Structure 1
Amino acid sequence: MLNKKLMSKGILKDILIVAIGVLVIWIGLQVVFGTQNPFYVVASGSMIPVLEVYDVLIVQGHVPFDDIKVGDIIVFNRPSGHDRVIVHRVASVIDDEPKTIRTKGDANPASIPGTDFPITKEEYIGKVAYVIPQVGYVTQLLKPPINYVIIVIVIGIMVVKQMTKKKNEKELSLQDPFKKNDSNVESTANIPELDKLEKDKAYSNHDNDSSTKAEKQESEKDQK
């Protein structure tokens, strides 16, 4: 029961670390690019061939709306209803006070009222700074039910990781702490110096015994 609790705590800890890491990175990107969402995926072919469907756009929100000029590609909320995000090229400035612009998709025959104009600072999100081709295909993998499968796999990996960790710790705790030391101790029979000392001692004892025996025999002869 204790192991299960420890394993659950380990999994929650890993998930928390990942979540905090993602959050910190996301907040950092928002600060750097000056917009709540610096990444957008092209969803239509209105800007082909410059922008293809599934291209990922990195938007720079720090570029002021007043600095936007004809020819810039910008991201903005649809003027009519603010219900869609559009990425089109600036076609003209139709008013200066306040600044109002008209856009058009490169692949579209003309600007669309309510979509391409009138665009003011209120609709403006940012200027397209970078384009990452076709990376938007990854977003298709994050749609249900595939995203749930990915989440389950990630959690499964965390569970296996914690189980393996606990198993290794248990095996180490059951291991004889003296076994390793004993295996490193060399037997005296394998030490040449000790073998020589033992042999010398045996020879010495043998010589002493022989001398004692000879003296005893000489003494017996004298007594006779």
Structure 2
Amino acid sequence: MAKKSIPKGVIKDIIIVGVGVLVIWIGLQVAFGTQNPFYVVASGSMIPVLQVYDVLIVQGHEPFEDIEIGDIIVFNRPSDHNRVIVHRVASILDDDPKTIRTKGDANPASIPGTDFPITEEEYIGKVAYVLPQVGYVTQLLKPPINYVIIVIVIGIMVVKQMAKKKNEKELSFSDPMNSENPNTIEELSDINKIEKDSEYSQHVEKSEQVEKSQDIEKSLEDIEKSIEESKTDDKDKK
């Protein structure tokens, strides 16, 4: 049983989409000055300002030295750096080096090891924009739904390429006399016209040759007649 390979057109489409996504992602990283400009709120510690599944756009170009009390920032948890936290700056603990303390708006107090001490090493960026509830989309991208979406997209690409090849084959084997091919009919009409013109030219040439031969025959007859008349005149004179 022959193995079916993925059409080259599908591979080309996948590469184009992949390169496009990569270029856009790199552009966003450069524009916002952080490796990941987007974060999804996963807890209710900042309710009511931030809701679960809100998407945060983080500005990493905002210098840590310019952060003030009241700003909402994104940072790595200082105790182990294994979680990303989004809280509001509650106070400045030290200026040299700058060290701050944060607190969740919904929390009764700051949590040691989570809200402080935060230095420039933990700082990721300042929250610039909030996209309410857009984070629900991320739930659709979790396994196994994300794999299903990928399979559907690739399937659509394959069907698209197969339909394109089928249409090309049908066009190449289509009847040239079909009314859907007016250009072919026009070309055939031109050929017929050329053939008719050729027949007319041949007919004219034959007619001219016949006329010439008839003229020659008439001239010969006139000469013979003249000779006979001259002979008759000579006889009469004698």
Matched with 1:33 is 32
Shift of 1:175: 1.5
Any stretches of 5+ residues in structure 1 without a counterpart?
A: 188-224
Structure-1 separation of matches of 2:106 and 2:176: 75
Alignment of 1:1-224 (within 5 A): 8-177=7-176, 179=178, 180-181=181-182
Structure-1 separation of matches of 2:19 and 2:185: 47
Shift of 1:8: 1.8
Matched with 1:204 is none
Q: The residue matched to 2:7 in structure 1 has which SS? A: helix
Shift of 1:176: 3.1
Shift of 1:147: 0.4
1:24-77 deviation line (CA, Å, top 9, x unaligned): 000000000000000000000000000000000000000000000000000000
Instruction: Please tell me the residue identity of whatever aligns with 2:105.
Output: D
Structure-2 separation of matches of 1:48 and 1:57: 14
Structure-1 separation of matches of 2:101 and 2:59: 20
Q: The residue matched to 1:153 in structure 2 has which SS? A: helix
Q: TM-score, normalised by structure 1?
A: 0.78
Structure-2 separation of matches of 1:170 and 1:124: 60
Instruction: Please tell me the residue identity of whatever aligns with 2:131.
Output: I
Instruction: Please tell me the residue identity of whatever aligns with 1:160.
Output: V
Structure-2 separation of matches of 1:21 and 1:165: 23
Q: How many residues align?
A: 185
Instruction: Please tell me the residue identity of whatever aligns with 1:168.
Output: N
Structure-2 separation of matches of 1:17 and 1:11: 10
Structure-2 separation of matches of 1:177 and 1:119: 78
Instruction: Please tell me the residue identity of whatever aligns with 2:29.
Output: Q
Structure-2 separation of matches of 1:31 and 1:18: 20
Moved over 6 A (4+): none
Instruction: Please tell me the residue identity of whatever aligns with 2:92.
Output: V
Q: The residue matched to 1:100 in structure 2 has which SS? A: strand
Q: TM-score, normalised by structure 2?
A: 0.74
In 1, are the aligned partners of 2:176 and 2:185 still within 8 Å (CA)? no
Shift of 1:9: 1.1
Instruction: Please tell me the residue identity of whatever aligns with 2:81.
Output: H
In 1, are the aligned partners of 2:58 and 2:127 still within 8 Å (CA)? yes
Structure-1 separation of matches of 2:12 and 2:96: 54
Shift of 1:137: 0.2
If you compute each CA radius of gyration, which structure gives the higher value, 1 or 2? 2
Q: The residue matched to 2:85 in structure 1 has which SS? A: strand
Structure-2 separation of matches of 1:15 and 1:184: 42
Any stretches of 5+ residues in structure 2 without a counterpart?
A: 190-238
Matched with 1:215 is none
In 1, are the aligned partners of 2:45 and 2:104 still within 8 Å (CA)? yes
1:83-107 deviation line (CA, Å, top 9, x unaligned): 0000000000000010000000000
In 1, are the aligned partners of 2:60 and 2:126 still within 8 Å (CA)? yes
Q: The residue matched to 1:158 in structure 2 has which SS? A: helix
Structure-2 separation of matches of 1:170 and 1:184: 23
